Chains A and B, each alone.
Chain A
Amino acid sequence: MLSLYAVLIDGAIYASWLFLVAAGLTVIYGVMRILNMAHGSFYAIGAYAAASLVGWYFNNGVGPVWVGYLMMLGCALAAGLVVGLLIERGLLRFMYGRDEVLMVIITYALLLILEDAMKMIWGVNPYFAYQPYAEMGRSVLAGLKVSNYDLMLVGVSLVLGLGLWLWLERTHQGKVLRAVIHDREVAQAMGVNVRRVFTLVFILGTVLGTLAGALTAPAISVAPGIGVEIIVLAFAVVVIGGMGSIEGAALGALLVGLSRAAAVHYAPQFELFVIYGVMALVLAVRPQGLFGRVLARKI
C-alpha cells in the first residue's frame, strides 16, 4: 500500500517538474510553429543563473532565507527576458516563415552555441546551490518522507498551469494568441500584429524555460549538459499532449510522471522505456497527441 501512495506522490512531483520544463516549449510551438531545440539551453541558463547567484547569496550569509527564493525567481525572469529578447530580435525574426525543419536546425545550432557560451561563462565545474532545497525541510505523507521543496514545485506547477490557461482562455491577449494559433494569416488580415505576438510569446517561452531551470537548480548539481538531457524528455511530454497545447502538456506530464513512478516502484527494469512506451502508445492511437488538432493541409 505504501508503494501505491509513493507512486502517486512521486508521480505528481515528477509530473509537476516535467510540466514546468515542457510548458515553454509547447507555448512557443503552439504560436510560432518553432520546434525550439534551444529550450534545453534556456533551462540550463536559468539553472546556472540561479545556482551561481543563490549559491553566492547563501554561502556569504547575506540575509534572510526568503530573499534567496525571490532571487531565484528574479534571476530566472531576468535571464529569460534578456536571452529571449536577444535571440528573437537578433536571430529568429529574420527566419519567420521558413520551413519548420529549417527552424529545428537553426534552434539546434543555437543549442550548441549556447552550450559553449555557458561553458565559457560558468566553466565546467558543477554548481551546487542546495540551500533553498534543504531549508524547506520535509513532511511525512502517507508514511513517506517527502521534501517540502518538491511539494512546493507541485504548487508552483499548478498555479503556473492554471495561470497560463486563464490567460489564454479568459483574456483579450489570450484571444489574440489563440487567433494566431488557429490561423496566422487570417489573424494578420484581421489586424493582429503577429510579429509582436511572436516576440511576446518567444520571451514568455524563454522565461518559462529559465524558470524551470532555476526552480530545479537547488535539487541538482548544475553541470554542463543538463540542457541537452532535458530537451528529449520535454519533447516526449509535448508530443504526448499534442504540440502547442497547455492542457496537453499538463496531461502528458501527468501520464509520464505516474507511469515512470509506477515503473520505478514495480518494474525498475522497464523504467528507461516507459516514457517512450507511453509516447508510442498515445501516438499509435492519436498521432496528433492527446490535445493536438488535426490540421487540413493548405494548398
Chain B
Amino acid sequence: MNNYKKSVQHSLKTLPLALAIATAGVASSFTGAALAAENGKFRIGVVTFLSGPAAGPFGEPSANAAKVLVEGLNQGKLPAPYDKLGINGAEIEMVIIDEAGGAAKQVEEFRNLVQRQKVDAVVGYISSGDCLAIAPVAEELGAMTVFYDCGTSQLFSEDKTPQFVFRTSLDAAVDNIGAARYLARTRPDAVRVGGIQQNYAWGQDSWNDFTLSMAQIMPKTQMVESQMPKVFQGQYGAEISALSVKRPDIIHSSFWGGDMEALVLQANSRGLLEDATAVLTCGESALARYKDQAPNGMIIGGRGPFGAFAPENALNTWFTQAYQSAYKAAPTYPASKMAQAILGLKFAAENAKAEPGKVPAALEMAKAFKGATFESVSGTVQMARAGGHQAMQGIAYGEYHYDAASQKGSVQNVIAFSGECVTPPDGTTAHDWIKAGFPGAQCN
C-alpha cells in the first residue's frame, strides 16, 4: 500500500513536469511549423515511393532527381531560363514523404503537408489511385499540386474544373497510342499480337488502349492472347508458355519494375523474345540493368520524351551530368519526370507576379501555370490539355541494343511522335478519340 501511495505521490509530483514538457513539445512543433511557413523559404512537399516494390525503379530515381534539382536551383547552377536562385529568389526547402501505404494514408499525409507543415506546393505521386484521391483534397485546400508521374485518364474527367491541380506527365493512353504507331512504322507486317499485363487498373487500361489503337492503326492484326497475372507475381512460366503456343509476332506489356525485369529474363531464356518482338511501354526504366538478358530489337518506351529519350538541350545536359555525378547512374524516365514537375512549378511561381524573394500565393501560381509553355529537360512542355492543367508532349519509342564490349545497353531506331499526334483533345475521352480514328491528330 505504502509503495502504491509513494508511486501515486511521485506521479503527482512529476505530472506537472510531464505536462509542461508535453505542452512545450506540442507548442514547439506548432511553432516549428509556423516558423517553417514564415521563414521565407519555398517549401515543397515531394511525395514518391521510398519503400515497397515501386521504390527501386521509380521512387528512388525520382527522389534523387528532386534532391539534385533543388540543390542545383538553390546554388543557381541551372542554365537559363532557370538560373535564378531557388524559386523566385527564395531558397527551396524540401520535405520528402513516402507514397507507400495506400490512398487513405496519402490523403492524410497530404493534409499534414499542407496544413501542418505549411508547404507552398506539393510535387509527387506515382500511383494513379493516389492521384485520384489527392486531387479533390488539393482543390478543397487550395494547395498548389503537381502530379509528376501518375497516368490515369480519369484524373481530369473526375476533376472537371481543376484550379490547383496540374499534371506535367502524360496520360497513359499516350503510351499505348505511341506504341501502336511505332509498330505501324517499324513492323507493318506483324499480324499476331499477344499481351501480358499486371492485373490491376494500370495493366487493364493499358491493354484496352493498346488493342483499340491497334484496331485503328493496324487493322489487320489479331489479338491472339491476353494474360493478366497478379501484380508482383514474379514467376511467369505458365504465362510465357501460353503466349508461346499462340506464336505471336508482337508481345505488348505495360509491366514495370521487378515484374518487367523478371518477365524479360524468363521470356528471353525460354526463347519467346527471339520468336516475337516485345513492346515494353515502361521498358526504359531498366535500360542499365537488362545487359545481355534482353534481345536486341526489343521495343522500349519511356512514357514520354524522358530518360534515354530526352532530347539534347542545355537543361538536360546539366541535369544528366549533375545526376550522374551524384548517383553514378544515368537518370531514368521517372527522374526526368520529377525534374520536369519541379521546373514547371518554378516557372509558374516565377511568373506569378510576386515580389522577388517572396513566395507567391497558390492561386497566383496556378493562374501562371494554367496553359503555360515552359522549357524542361524533355524539351518544350505545353500545358495544353484539361483546360491548361495537363501537359501535352510527344512520345518516343526505340529498340534496345546491348554493346558487349562496353557492357551497356542503349536505345536505337528511335521514332518520336508529336503531342498532337498521340494526345486526345479536350472534350473527349481517350477511348472515344481512339475509336473514332484519332480525329484531328497531326502526325509527322
Contact = CB atoms under 8 A, between A and B. Distances in A.
Given A130-B293, A220-B262, A265 B238 contact: yes
B176 interface: no
A225 B266 CA distance: 20
A126 B234 contact: no
Chain A, interface SS category = helix
Interface residues of A, number: 44
Contacts of A106: none
Interface in B201-226: 226
Nearest to B229: A271
Nearest to A134: B269
Nearest to B226: A268
A147 B269 contact: yes
Interface stretch (B52-60, B85-93, B369-377, B413-421): B52-60
A278 to B, nearest CB: 15
A220 B235 contact: yes
Interface string A120-146: 000111101010011000100000111
A126 B241 contact: no
A221 B232 contact: no
Interface stretch (A9-17, A167-175, A187-195, A243-251): A9-17
A146 B53 contact: no
Given A119-B51, A145-B271, A126 B261 contact: yes
Given A10-B237, A124-B50, A220-B258, A144 B56 contact: no
A222 B257 CA distance: 10
B272 A14 contact: no
B51 A128 contact: no
Contacts of A138: 269-271
Given A124-B55, A130-B265, A138-B269, A223 B257 contact: yes
Given A124-B50, A264-B242, A272-B199, A225 B237 contact: no
Contacts of A130: 265, 293
Contacts of A119: 51
A2 interface: yes
19 contacts: A7-B238, A14-B237, A125-B56, A125-B60, A130-B293, A133-B269, A134-B265, A134-B269, A134-B293, A144-B244, A147-B237, A220-B258, A223-B53, A224-B56, A225-B232, A226-B234, A229-B234, A265-B245, A271-B227
Given A265-B238, A265-B241, 15 more contacts: A14-B238, A123-B56, A124-B55, A126-B257, A126-B261, A138-B269, A144-B244, A145-B271, A221-B257, A224-B51, A224-B52, A226-B232, A264-B242, A265-B242, A271-B228
